[in-house]
Amino acid sequence: MIALCEDPMKPINCLVLPLALLWVGCGPILTKPQVTAVSDFETATKKYSALPGSVLRAYEEVHSADTLFTASSAETKDAKMSLAVVKRSLLTSDELRKKATQLDKAVGVLTTYSEALTQLVSDDQLKALDSDAEDLGKALDGSIAEYNNLTHSTENIHSFGTAAAAAVRGISGIWVREKQAKYLQRFVEDADPMVQQLAKDLAELMQELGSEGPDCVCFSAEKLKLEANFISYFSFRPGFMNHGDVEAFATWMAKANAGRELAVAVDASTTKLGKAHTALVAAVKPDGSLKGHLEELRSLSEQIKAAQSLQKKVGSD
């Protein structure tokens, strides 16, 4: 959680404002359902954050096992050739693990953003809103800059956190709770292009890993290789079907199936993430009705739960 201030003021002064102030026409303030919607989005995003990297790690494990089976099934029984296959496998595994770490950092942008939203609607931050908004904006801009350095990003995301904070800080003489609402609305609106771009990048990767075909970088291609290696492996061992070897092949075939199912589920979660944020943008507007928008958040939560159950099946975190 981003720490916005060391000793946050409690909102006691807001509670004891002269009653007359409530009659001078204050603008819209945050409603409890709007605060709940922000909290629900943060919870869903945190649960989602562990999913994309786990798909890539599961693929790395299946690919590595498949390559080792290839080395042990070499038709020529050439030890040098088998060693070369093993070395290539180790290099590929190292690259995939690095990409999984990059993916974790990419999703970390979403986590930073959702944590910032929750801090923004917290009562404890009301008195420090102006100064802390700048810190919050800088933290998010730092995460965005880190994301833009990742090789898999299809398009740079423009930083907006500091600018959004400055725009709201410039509004003087405004009731602090109204300023809180205006900042949240501005922050969420400016964040939407970032969330949609992230969703697009992550969905494309999940779609590739979950696709069907013999030539793609995907679980289905690895399963086809496992089946071919199974035939090759036991063809050189006629009449000797070791139970342990058969079980090993079966285990990795099952993991390839589960990995593809997980990739498809995370792809669906990613699509729902984009839709849920669009709904959040509408829900926090001054004239926004929560009717219909909360359903997108519920749908996102349900899809993430389904993906988490598949993640346990794959056994990669």
Residue 186 and residue 164 in contact, taking contact as beta carbons nearer than 8 Å: yes
Residue 284 and residue 39 in contact, taking contact as beta carbons nearer than 8 Å: no
**Nearest Cα to Cα of residue 2 among 99, 108, 104:** 108
User: pLDDT at position 253, please?
Assistant: 92
Which segments of the chain does DSSP mark as H helices, in order?
A: 12-15, 32-49, 51-72, 79-120, 129-148, 161-169, 176-209, 219-235, 243-283, 293-314
Q: How many CB atoms lie within 10 A of CB 120?
A: 23
Between the ranges 8-12, 16-20, 275-279, where is the mean pLDDT highest? Answer: 275-279
Please state, in angstroms and rounded to a whole number, the distance separating the CA atoms of residues 309 and 96.
23
What tokens does 96 get?
Answer: 């995939």
Please state, in angstroms and rounded to a whole number, the distance separating the CA atoms of residues 47 and 274.
15
Which of 13-27, 88-102, 236-250 shows the lowest per-residue confidence on average (mean pLDDT)? 13-27
Sequence-ordered list of residues with C-beta below 8 angstroms from that of 11, at least 6 positions apart, any chain:
123, 124, 126, 127
Q: What is the CA radius of gyration of the chain?
A: 25
pLDDT confidence bin for 66, thresholds 50/70/90: confident
Tens digits of per-residue pLDDT, 247-304?
A: 988 999 999 999 999 999 999 999 999 999 998 888 888 765 555 566 676 777 888 8
What are the extents of the domains in the chain? 28-314
Residue whose pair of structure tokens reads 């507007």 in the numeric block? 285
User: pLDDT at position 273, please?
Assistant: 92
Q: Taking the complete model, does pTM exceed 0.85, yes or no? A: no
82 pLDDT above the threshold of 50: yes
Tens digits of per-residue pLDDT, 158-213?
A: 665 565 555 545 544 445 567 778 878 888 888 899 899 889 888 988 999 999 98
> What is the chain's mean pLDDT, rounded?
74
What tokens does 70 get?
Answer: 């290839």
Sequence-ordered list of residues with C-beta below 8 angstroms from that of 289, at least 6 positions apart, any chain:
283
3-state class (DSSP) for residue 11: coil
